[in-house]
Chain A
Amino acid sequence: MYRVEYHRLRFLVVDDNTYMRRIVKTLLHGFGAREVFEAEDGAAALDAFASHYPDIVFTDWEMPLINGIDMAKLMRCSDNSVNPYVPIIMVTVHSERHRVIEARDAGITEFLVKPLSAQVIHQRVLNVIAQPRPFIRTATYFGPDRRRTKAAEYNGPERRSGGSAELIAPRKLAAGLVQEG
């Protein structure tokens, strides 16, 4: 069993609402985080992302000018992104299926529906650190593998070339990157 040393991580919290930023910041500080940066919209977040190099980004969906979806796409796909692999956790009240799919297709790593609690924040943070998914690049998508699980009941054709076996190998590889010394 593992725990996360929050004080070793740097977070960016993006929300146009001051109170929600405070809620997320308070929870992260409660877990022991020391470096929590804030941005009140997508544009400010992109600046903060480039200057603070956060390890994990929490973002709201609905924000003026650049929303959380567009911001995530820019962090993932912009030529000068400082970290296209950064875990992005979407914090929102949108829970409809089409919204979850839209977020997934924008390269969002984890989806978190309000109200927030310490438990759900911790689960998502632990997930992105302990069980990261490989990234997939296609002509139209770049982001975490959208296939979280292999559906046993799926009998359709394999839509990616190479088959699903290749998704398993990188996971083993990822686990092997960190060795106990």
Chain B
Amino acid sequence: MKKLDSLEPQRTVHSDHSVIVPPNTLRAKALVRVKKGQAEIDEMVARADRALQSLAPSFTEWMNNEILRLFEAMDQFEQSDQGDEASKSFFIVVHDVRGQALQFGYPLAGQMAGGLCDLIEHRGEAPIPAVIMRRYVEAIASIVRTGIRDEANALAVELARTLAKVVTEYRTRVAEGRGVALRVAGDGAAR
């Protein structure tokens, strides 16, 4: 039989902070000593894993639905003013797809969605045109639709490399363009 000494949090007040220890009601309510050792825990975890595995046959269908959602979000973003609000809404969907891809066994699609998340998140400092973002969306879709789950898949790895190269080239060109513009401005100021 377990009982709580007190239901009031214990407080220790200092000049710049307080330390509060709430009563551990959860421990009293739900923590019990195991009877069969580690095997009992392992059995419980295995049972929960089996429950998760029972959902696995649906993962392909769920992921395909997420891809449709991703394309819808891409369309909406392209048709919007592509400002902060639109970027945030698009980011939430891409971020969701990233999580789902990792959960449903498409690690490369997840990594690519992560790359797209970075591009959207850092648009302020390094803007990327929507057309490049669409390439990411199409690449994620192809990986999912062709059922590539292997992280070492040569085609998917090449696709990821190509996308990264496109982004780097675009940024380099923008930086060079800025450099030219700055030099021109500098020349003008000198005169």
Task: Give me the interface of A with B, judged by CB distance under 8 Å.
Answer: 1-6, 8-9, 16-17, 19-20, 22-23, 26-32, 55-56, 60, 62-64, 85, 87, 92-93, 114-119, 121-122, 128-130, 132, 134-139, 145, 160-162, 166-167, 169-171, 173-174, 176-181
Chain B neighbourhood of A118, CB < 8 A: 45-49, 51-52
Contact A117 B30 (CB under 8 A): no
Contact B22 A5 (CB under 8 A): no
How far, in angstroms, from A19 to B55 measured CA to CA in the complex?
10
Contact B34 A1 (CB under 8 A): yes
Contact A179 B5 (CB under 8 A): yes
Residues from 19 to 67 in B contacting A, C-beta threshold 8 Å? 19-24, 26-34, 37-38, 40-41, 44-52, 54-55, 62, 66
Contact A160 B14 (CB under 8 A): yes
A55 touches which one: B3, B29, B66 (CB < 8 A)? B29
Contact A17 B30 (CB under 8 A): no
Contact A19 B62 (CB under 8 A): yes
Chain A contact surface mostly? mixed
Any A CB within 8 A of the CB of B96: yes
Contact A62 B95 (CB under 8 A): yes
Any A CB within 8 A of the CB of B9: yes
A3 touches which one: B1, B14, B40, B92 (CB < 8 A)? B40
Contact B92 A62 (CB under 8 A): yes
Quick one: closest B residue to A181, CB to CB? B1
How far, in angstroms, from A171 to B24 measured CA to CA in the complex?
11
Chain A neighbourhood of B99, CB < 8 A: 17, 20, 60, 92-93, 114
Chain B neighbourhood of A160, CB < 8 A: 14, 16-17
Contact A137 B26 (CB under 8 A): no
Using known A-B contacts A134-B20, A170-B19, determine if residue A178 contacts B114 with beta carbons closer than 8 Å: no
Contact B96 A122 (CB under 8 A): no
